[in-house]
């Protein structure tokens, strides 16, 4: 079994913050949708572009997540990668969680640069 890299308080704090983080993200998305609809172009073109965008955004962690304790670190990393939150948003979390997230992000960054 994998060692837990966060505290019970981290899990509780995450559950209390995720709703606000997602609401803020969805507010940004709605503003982007409004801009898309206000842009120049044919109504049908804007409609289908918006449809495609919404279908894609539904899979974004800023819209929905699988909320389990085992996914906590992965969810946080995914939220950061999708610009839903930043490292600064983790200031109230334990040092252990922040360090774990940092290590995951660094490892991911190295893997991404190795692929290039």
1 within a domain of the structure (yes/no): no
DSSP the chain: -PPP-S-HHHHHHHHHHHHHHHHHHHHHHHHHHHHHHHSSS-HHHHHHHHHHHHHHHTTSTTT-----GGGHHHHHHHHHHTTSS-GGGGTTS-HHHHHHHHHHHHHHHHHHHHH-
> Would you state the pLDDT for residue 94?
96
Residue 26 pLDDT exceeds 50: yes
Q: Which of 74, 34, 78, 80 is nearest to 54 (CA)?
A: 34
Report the predicted TM-score, pTM, of the whole model to 2 decimal places. 0.85
Asked if residue 77 lies in contact with residue 5, where contact means CB atoms within 8 angstroms, the answer is no
Residue 115 pLDDT exceeds 70: no
Q: How confident is the model over 89-111, as pLDDT tens digits?
A: 999 999 999 999 999 999 988 87
3 within a domain of the structure (yes/no): no
Structure confidence at residue 1 as a pLDDT band (50, 70, 90):
very low
108 within a domain of the structure (yes/no): yes
> Would you state the pLDDT for residue 109?
85
As for how many domains the chain has, the answer is 1
Q: Provide the domain limits for residue 48.
A: 8-115
109 within a domain of the structure (yes/no): yes
Q: What is the mean pLDDT of the chain?
A: 93
35 within a domain of the structure (yes/no): yes
């Amino acid at each position: 079994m994998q060692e837990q890299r966060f505290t019970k308080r981290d899990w509780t704090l995450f559950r209390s913050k995720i709703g606000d983080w997602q609401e803020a993200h969805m507010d940004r998305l709605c503003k982007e949708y409004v801009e898309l609809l206000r842009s120049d172009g044919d109504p049908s073109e804007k409609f289908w572009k918006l449809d495609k965008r919404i279908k894609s955004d539904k899979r974004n962690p800023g819209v929905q997540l699988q909320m389990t304790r085992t996914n906590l670190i992965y969810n946080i990393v995914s939220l950061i990668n999708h610009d839903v939150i930043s490292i600064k948003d983790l200031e109230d979390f334990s040092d252990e969680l922040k360090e774990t997230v940092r290590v995951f992000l660094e490892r991911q960054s190295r893997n991404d640069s190795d692929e290039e």
